[in-house]
Amino acid sequence: MSAYDANAIEMKWQAAWDKAGTFKASRSGDKPKYYVLEMFPYPSGRIHMGHVRNYTMGDVVARHKMATGYNVLHPMGWDAFGMPAENAAMASGIHPQTSTHQQIAAMKDQMKPLGWSLDWSREFATCESEYYGQQQSMFIDFMEKGLVYRKNAVVNWDPVDMTVLANEQVIDGKGWRSGAAVERRELTQWFFKISDYSEELLAAIDHLDNWPAKVKLMQANWIGKSRGIEIPFHLTAPVGDIADITCYSTRPDTMRGASFVAISSDHPVAKTLEAENPDVATFCATCRKMATTEEAMEKAEKLGFDTGLSVAHPTEPGKVLPVWIGNFVLMDYGTGAVFGCPAHDQRDLDFARKYDLPVRNAFYIPGEAVEVGNDALVPAKTEPVEFIDHFAGFGAVTSQQAIDATIDWFEAKGLGTGMVKYRLRDWGLSRQRYWGCPIPVVHCDACGVVPEKKENLPVELPVDVTFDQPGNPLDRHPTWRDVDCPSCGKPARRETDTMDTFVDSSWYFARFTAPNADTPTNMDDAKYWMNVDQYIGGVEHAILHLLYSRFFARAMNICGHLPDSAIEPFDALFTQGMVTHEIYQTRDDKGRPVFHLPEEVTDGKLTATGEAVEIIPSAKMSKSKKNVVDPVHIIQQYGADAARWFVLSDSPPERDVEWTASGAEAAYKHLNRVWMLCDRIAQMPEDTAGDDTGLTRAMHKAVHEVSLNIETFAFNKAIANLYEFTGILGKSNASGAAQKLAVRTLAQLMSPYTPHLAEDIWAHQGGQGLIANATWPVADEGLLVEDTVTLPIQINGKRRSEITVARDMPKEQVEKLALATDAVTRALDGSVPKKIIVVPGRIVNVVL
RNA sequence: GCCCGCGUGGUGGAAUGGUAGACACAAGGGACUUAAAAUCCCUCGGCUGAAAGGCCGUGCCGGUUCGAGUCCGGCCGCGGGCACCA
C-alpha cells in the first residue's frame, strides 16, 4: 500500500461500480424499494457547492439504504429550460439548444468524478422533445379534465425593449437592460386551476408526517384559508347599473369602526368612473404602473383617491361612508373591495391619518386605553374584547369568538354571505419566451382555441430562430406559427407562449420511474417506484415547486398517469440550508447594482480598477449575483472523497453554511490519517494479543451513533462520531483481530461519505466483494450501556460537584452519596435541604 | 410590509428541559528535523487565583421551572420566500 492517491483510487472504484452496474436500478428483486431523489439542477454549466452538498446528502442516504437491504432508485437529470440560456443567446448569439447541451455535458463532467451512486441510465433533460412532448400530451389531458383555462393577467412590460420582463429583471421598477420604467400590461394567459385544490392541498398537509414542520406551515400560510363574509354596501347613487359594492372581510366585528370603503383600480366601479373622469383615469393609471410583486405592492406608499361616491353603512341607518380607490386593494383577492376600519387595522389607520378619515373604535380591551394613537388596536385571537356597539350583547368574548359570532350575526340578518376564501391563486403558466415547452394549442378563427392532436406531438421548438432582438422569437418566426387548424383544417396560428419551467419540474420525479415510456409514465413502473421515499433539496423551494408538484401529482392521477397512492408524491422531505457567500457589489452611473466575482476582488477593492466594493455578507449563491464558488478546484486538489467529507462535516445540513476555503484541507488530512492507520493495521499480525473491551465498545457505539445520525440527517454528527472512533482506534492496544474488524467496520461506516476510500480499505482488509454491496453493520445493544455513570451534583441548579455511581444505583442511595459530598456538606453547613431532586442516570439537584 | 427560519468561544458547530462548548478548524507552545513540509503531543469562552477553586457566560429584556441554549411573552439583528430566477 503506497501513499493516499485520491485521484487514482477514485477513478479505479468508479470504473469498478460502472462495470458491475452497481447503481443501475431495476424493478426486480425481493427487497423493498427505496426512491431517493435530489432536486435536479438547472444546467448552468458549472456545479457549485450547493449541488455538491445536496447530492452528497442524497448519496449518503442512497448508499446507506443500499447497505441496509433496499432496492434503491437514485436518478439524475436536468431542468434544462429557462431564461439564462435565452439571455445568453441574446448576449452572445449562441443558440440555447447548443449552449444547454454543452452545459449539460460540462456539468456532467464535473459531477461524475464525485462518485455519486446515480443511475445515469435514466438521465434526461426537460428540453428534450421526448420529455416535453409527454408534458404537452398531459397538458391536453388537463384541458380535457377542465384543469386548464385562459384569462387575462398582468405582466411586467418594458416599453423600450417591447418585451415582457420577469420579476427578477425588474430592478427598482425599471427594466434591467433598458432602464425604462416598467409598466403593467394585461395579456390573455394560460392557468392551471390549482385553486380548485386549495382545501385538499391544505388538508393533506396534516398527513405529510415526514416533512419539516416549517415547510408545512409555509405551505398552509401560502394557501391561506380564511373564514370571512361578503357584505354588500349600497351605493347612495348607483354607478351605471351597479347598485352595491360588495366587500369581503375577515373582521366583521370591526364594522362599527368602518370609516371608508376602498376599491381596486380594476374594480368595475373604478373602471366605469375612469371612462368619464380623467382624474380617476390618471389615478388608476398610476396604480397600474406599480410593480406586480406582492412585496412591491405591500411596501409601496398607500395611495388613495376619493371618488366622491358614498355607500350606506350596513348596520347604522343614516350613516354613509366615502368610497376611495386604493392602490393597495387587489382585484385578485376577495371582491376587489374592502371596508376600512382604522381603529383596528394598521394599514387602514395609516391611510386614515394620511387622508384625514375618522378613527372610531368598535371595541376595546378591558383594562386598557380606548383611545387609538398611532398604533391600531389589534387584539390577539385569544385576547378578550368588549364591544361598544350593537354587538355589546355578546358580553366578554375573545377576539376570535367575536369574529365568528359577528359572521353568524351578519348572515342571520341577511346582511352578508359567510364565505371561506383562500389566498392561493391559480397558477399562470404562460411565458412569452422561446426556451420552454411549447403550449400545444392552435388558435383558429373559426374554432377558437383547439388542442393539437396527440398524434402530432411533440410540438417541437423550431431551431431556426434569432435572438438579435428582445421578445419571443417564436412570435416573429416566419413559418412556425402558421399551421392548419387541427379541427377544421383551415389556416390557423400556433400558440407562441411556452410553459413556465415550474411545469417541467412538477413531474420529472414521476418520469424517472420510466424515462423512456411513450406515455408520460408507465403505470407498472410508477406503482412500483412511487412515491419518492426521500426528497432532498433547497429550502428556497419550500413553497412553489413543492406545492406545484403536489398539485401536478393529483392532476396526473385524474388523467391516469399516476396511481391513487401517489397523489402525495414525496413521502419524506428534507430541506437543506443554502450555501451562502458574500456578494461584491458596485453601482453603475444610474445607481444600479453591478455584481463582481469573488476572484475579481482584493481587500475590499476591485482588483482591476481599485474601486471600493460594497460587501453584502452571507447571501444565497446565485449566478446573477456572481457569488458562486466553484468546487472543482477542491476536488482536483484533495479528491472527491475529501470534498464529500468536507461539505457534510461541521454544519448541520438543514442550516445555511457560509462558504470558507479552510476545512477542505482538514478533511483531506483526516482521510490521509485514516489511510495510514488502515495500512498500519493491515500489516499487523492477526494473532497480536491485546485488550479488546474498550475498542469493541467504541466500535459498537460508533455503529449505533453513525447509523442513527445518518437516518436522522445529522450528517455532521455522524462525521464527529467517525472522528472520535478513528481516534480511539488509532490509540488502541486491542488484539490484531479486533483492530482488523474495527478497520473494516470503520470503512463501512465511512462508505456513504467517502465511498472510494472505503472500497479501497475494504479490498485491502480482505472484505468480500464491493463495500457498496456489503451489509451494513449492526450494533450489539448490550455493549452500548456503560456500567457506571457520572452524575453532576447541582446546588440550587448550579453544578458544584459530581459522583460516579453504578448505573442502576437506587435513588435513595444516590441521594445519600450526593449529600455526603464535600460541596454539599459545605453548602448545607449543618442545615437541612429544602428539596433533593434525583433524576436517575442524569443529575442530582440539591435545593437549599 | 406579510409568511417562515436562524442567532452558542477567534471560526464551523455539539448539547431527550438535566455537567454549555462534543467533534473539528484556526491560533499558540513543544517534540522530531541541518531546515522546511509532513507527523505527533500539549494549551485554547471571559475574569480571578500559585493551585485547588471561585464568579460570570448561549443576541437583548422579562417569565415559567428544583433546573432554561432548549419552553413562553416582548424586542433587536441576519437569512429565505412573496406567485415570470431556478
The ipTM estimated for the assembled molecules is 0.95
Q: Which of residues 45-64 of A touch strand B (CB under 7 A)?
A: none
Q: Is the CB of A186 under 7 A from strand B?
A: no
CB-count burial class (<10 Å; 0-12, 13-18, 19+) for A321: buried
The CA–C1' separation of A796 and B68, in angstroms, is 14
Q: Which of chain B's bases lie under 7 Å from a protein CB?
A: 1-6, 11-16, 18-20, 22-26, 38-41, 54-56, 66-68, 74, 78-86
Q: Is the CB of A727 under 7 A from strand B?
A: yes
The CA–C1' separation of A636 and B86, in angstroms, is 27
Q: Is the CB of A835 under 7 A from strand B?
A: yes
The CA–C1' separation of A602 and B37, in angstroms, is 28
pLDDT at A1: 46
Q: How many whole angstroms from its chain centre is CA A504?
A: 16
The CA–C1' separation of A775 and B8, in angstroms, is 39
Tell me the mean pLDDT per 10 residues along chain A, length 848: 81 97 92 97 90 95 97 98 93 94 96 97 98 98 97 91 90 87 91 96 95 94 93 94 93 92 93 93 88 84 92 94 92 88 88 91 79 79 81 82 90 94 94 96 96 96 92 92 94 96 98 97 97 94 96 98 97 89 70 69 70 68 70 87 92 82 84 93 89 93 96 96 95 92 96 97 93 96 85 87 85 88 82 87 88
Look at the block and give the residue holding cell 402525495.
A568
The CA–C1' separation of A819 and B72, in angstroms, is 34
The CA–C1' separation of A16 and B3, in angstroms, is 49
Q: Is the CB of A207 under 7 A from strand B?
A: no
- Cβ atoms of A150 and A102 within 8 Å: the answer is no
The CA–C1' separation of A759 and B78, in angstroms, is 42
The CA–C1' separation of A51 and B80, in angstroms, is 18
Nearest nucleotide to A580 (CA to C1') is B79
The CA–C1' separation of A723 and B22, in angstroms, is 11
**Rounded CA gap, A661 and A647, in Å?**
11
Q: Is the CB of A666 under 7 A from strand B?
A: yes
Q: What is the DSSP string of A664-728?
A: HHHHHHHHHHHHHHHHHHHTS-TT-----HHHHHHHHHHHHHHHHHHHTT-HHHHHHHHHHHHHH
The CA–C1' separation of A845 and B51, in angstroms, is 28
What angle is formed at CA A705 by the lines to CA A730 and CA A214, rounded to 5 degrees? Answer: 135
Beta-carbon contacts of residue A838 (< 8 Å; ≥ 6 apart): A811, A814, A815, A818, A844
The CA–C1' separation of A828 and B47, in angstroms, is 27
Nearest nucleotide to A295 (CA to C1') is B82
Q: Is the CB of A513 under 7 A from strand B?
A: no
Q: Is the CB of A84 under 7 A from strand B?
A: yes
User: Which pLDDT tens digit goes with each residue over A96-140?
Assistant: 999 999 999 999 999 999 999 999 999 999 999 999 999 999 999
Please list the alpha-helical segments (H only) found in A74-212.
83-92, 96-111, 129-144, 198-204
**Rounded CA gap, A389 and A361, in Å?**
9
Q: Is the CB of A826 under 7 A from strand B?
A: no
- Cβ atoms of A329 and A361 within 8 Å: the answer is no
- Cβ atoms of A346 and A378 within 8 Å: the answer is yes
The CA–C1' separation of A247 and B31, in angstroms, is 83
The CA–C1' separation of A662 and B10, in angstroms, is 14
- Grouping H, G, I as helix, E, B as strand and the rest as coil, residue A82 is coil
Q: Is the CB of A302 under 7 A from strand B?
A: no
**How crowded is the C-beta side of A815, counted as CA atoms within 13 Å?**
11
What angle is formed at CA A291 by the lines to CA A288 and CA A297, rounded to 5 degrees? Answer: 90
Q: Which of residues 314-353 of A touch strand B (CB under 7 A)?
A: none
Q: Which of residues 345-404 of A touch strand B (CB under 7 A)?
A: 380
Q: Is the CB of A202 under 7 A from strand B?
A: no
pLDDT at A776: 98
Kindly state the cell numbers that stand for A254: 370591526
Q: Is the CB of A842 under 7 A from strand B?
A: yes
Neighbouring C-beta atoms of residue A147, cutoff 10 Å: 22
Please state whether beta strands A788-795 and A843-847 pair in parallel, antiparallel, or not at all (unpaired).
parallel
Q: Is the CB of A100 under 7 A from strand B?
A: no
